[in-house]
């Protein structure tokens, strides 16, 4: 079933909407939650919570694309769960990605203090638009989907060291790009 059909099921308040959503995107959503949390039960709970969130959001929302809408809900719920779990000192791929971004981009100042999240997000989108498709996809897979370097290497057929180098160069380019646009790093 296509996304429009799934959305129409939500508007009709049919429970089949969740089954169709799960069938089409469940694997992707679970993987995203696992990349953040690194715990199967927590990831399953987050995905199920996201289905409830989608149920409550549609209607009135008519998301396009549906996959991005649902992914954002799962990611937000998973990040919130990660923060709660952090008190228990759990380590995940998400923590490693955050640490890597902080070390690669920031020099002690929080860029969010200088500008709002939407403006920063817009600048990052602008930066990614200027990258070749392969590099932009790697960056998004690493820092949005929280995929490990090993997973990125397997997916692309490139050695892990080469992936690390490409992402390291992109972080340096992003830092310079943001600095040029007045974001204090």
Instruction: Determine the 3-state secondary structure of 106 from DSSP.
Output: coil
Rg (CA), the chain: 18
pLDDT of res. 109: 46
Plot region of 28 (φ>0 → left; ψ -120 to 50 → alpha; else → beta): alpha
Residue spans of the domains in the chain: they are 3-86, 93-180
Half-sphere exposure of 86 (CA within 13 A, CB side): 13
Residues 162-183 pLDDT 10s: 999 999 999 889 888 888 888 7
CATH numeric code, 3-86 = 1.10.1740.10
Helix (H, G, I), strand (E, B) or coil at 141: helix
Rounded to an integer, the average pLDDT of 146-158 is 90
Cβ proximity of 72 and 61 under 8 Å: no
CATH architecture designation of domain 93-180 = Orthogonal Bundle (1.10)
CA distance 83 to 37: 10
The per-residue pLDDT for range 9-50, each reduced to its tens digit, is 999 999 999 999 999 999 999 999 998 888 899 999 999 999
């Amino acid at each position: 079933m296509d996304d429009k059909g799934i959305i129409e099921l939500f508007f009709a308040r049919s429970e089949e909407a969740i089954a169709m959503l799960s069938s089409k995107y469940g694997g992707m959503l679970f993987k995203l939650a696992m990349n953040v949390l690194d715990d199967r039960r927590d990831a399953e709970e987050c995905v199920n919570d996201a289905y409830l969130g989608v149920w409550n959001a549609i209607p009135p929302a008519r998301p396009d694309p549906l996959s991005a809408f649902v992914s954002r809900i799962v990611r937000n719920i998973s990040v919130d769960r990660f923060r709660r779990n952090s008190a228990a000192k759990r380590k995940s791929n998400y923590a490693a990605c955050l640490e890597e971004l902080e070390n690669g981009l920031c020099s002690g100042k929080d860029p969010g203090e200088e500008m709002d999240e939407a403006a920063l997000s817009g600048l990052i989108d602008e930066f990614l638009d200027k990258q070749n498709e392969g590099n932009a996809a790697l960056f998004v897979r690493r820092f949005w989907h929280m995929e490990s370097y090993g997973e990125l290497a397997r997916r692309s057929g490139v050695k892990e060291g080469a992936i690390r180098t490409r992402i390291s160069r992109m972080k340096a380019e992003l830092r310079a790009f943001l600095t040029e646009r007045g974001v204090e790093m």
